[in-house]
Structure 1
């Protein structure tokens, strides 16, 4: 497993194109990985997840996780302010154990199913707008993926949910892509090593091709 840190030039022509259409951003990232036969699922076969983070001073860093080693020399000229930084995720994977506590960040796409009143009994997914609903969504994902959110000293779940800029684009010129990401920052505790490792490798939730699902871990801070 590999984790890449890309320091993006927000003024570059390539980034301005990609930020206007998240599907273009997805294609730019995937250009760093070898082509696969048409029958393969390109992103999932390479295990690619990514996230845009704002850093001090207003800069942007794009984190990309993958099972295949990337070749960032394939990116458009001028997209990066400095060479890509790539490291192995094996030390993180080795640290996963039941009862282990981590500081985490997750950009996710919390949604729920609603019935569409059009006489066809159809359902569609809509974003969860309230932080309490978003945190409840994350807690339910923890039950599925082998972790729990511990309580803070105040007794509430030790996590903050903050909205991120909406991602929009078009897929195949006809299907509109709209994603309302939420950034979760807090602490978690591993309950099932196998399920949690799978979640770390494969991502959590929907819109994984569009900047959601990447779970980043660090040693737990003192609370």
Structure 2
């Protein structure tokens, strides 16, 4: 009986998602860190230290969020056991100061459940490169033609982003009940090997209400995120019961 109970506890812990909320304090080193031009990569390096050890490669998702504070938080999600000491050591080595909160969630869902959600995503599509077998990512919701009237441009942007989100929702076991989105920024990343602009970060924050249509697919979406550029602060689907 004790062995069965012990094994059940192990299985439950393996199924849990760990959440870390890094609340930076107001200090000069913190402001320098958060103002770094390569901040997404710097945060990626930081949150990877939450892995159990150097040989662990669990999925880690993160999102920067102000949460009504004057200085941003970093919300981190780890789908395995975390190493608090490694993370704290990395923060200390960077000369940063922060309050850190931890919590765990068992991701069990049922069809028909509704949640409020927040998702910072990188909506792009693959376009073939002329004369090449490769493709490059093109940001969605970007209209460069200045001759298009503002109202029509907004309709194009809304249609593209809604289509992208609805498609992702269908593939990940949920449907959108209502949603607002906020375009934040879009910039190209230069490929060192090719010397050409080939990668894009297209930051769009989606917020609204969703309904679970396939609990298994939805659980996978919560655990693994949605879309591309997950290592750089995109794709974490956060939910809250209504």
TM > 0.5 fold call: yes
Residue 144 of structure 1 corresponds to: 171
What CA deviation, in whole Å up to 9, does each residue of 1:70-101 have, x standing for no partner?
A: 413123235343x20000112xx23x210000
**Please, which of 29, 48, 56 is the counterpart of residue 13 of structure 1?**
29
Spell out the pairing of 1:75-86 with structure 2 (5 A cutoff). 75-77=90-92, 78-81=95-98, 83-86=99-102
Residue 182 of structure 2 corresponds to: 162
Q: CA deviation at 1:16?
A: 3.0
Higher helix share: 2
Q: CA deviation at 1:209?
A: 0.4
What CA deviation, in whole Å up to 9, does each residue of 1:88-139 have, x standing for no partner?
A: 112xx23x2100000000111110122323x225421111122331121111
8 A Cα contact 2:124 2:202, kept in partner:
no
Residue 213 of structure 1 corresponds to: 235
**Please, which of 25, 31, 35 is the counterpart of residue 49 of structure 2?**
31
Please, which moves more after superposition, 1-10 or 169-178? 169-178
Cα distance in structure 1, aligned partners of 2:53 and 2:191: 19
Q: CA deviation at 1:50?
A: 0.2
Extract unaligned runs of 5+ from structure 1: 151-157
Residue 46 of structure 1 corresponds to: 58
Cα distance in structure 2, aligned partners of 1:23 and 1:134: 25
Residue 88 of structure 2 corresponds to: 73
Cα distance in structure 2, aligned partners of 1:58 and 1:70: 28
- Higher radius of gyration, 1 or 2: 2
8 A Cα contact 2:222 2:237, kept in partner:
yes
Q: With structure 2 as the length reference, what TM-score do the two structures score?
A: 0.73
Cα distance in structure 2, aligned partners of 1:168 and 1:75: 29
Residue 182 of structure 1 corresponds to: 204
What CA deviation, in whole Å up to 9, does each residue of 1:3-32 have, x standing for no partner?
A: 111112465436634642122221111123
Q: CA deviation at 1:217?
A: 0.6
Q: With structure 1 as the length reference, what TM-score do the two structures score?
A: 0.79
What CA deviation, in whole Å up to 9, does each residue of 1:120-170 have, x standing for no partner?
A: 2542111112233112111101111100012xxxxxxx1011123457878
- Count of residues paired in the alignment: 202
Q: CA RMSD in A?
A: 2.8
8 A Cα contact 2:139 2:200, kept in partner:
no
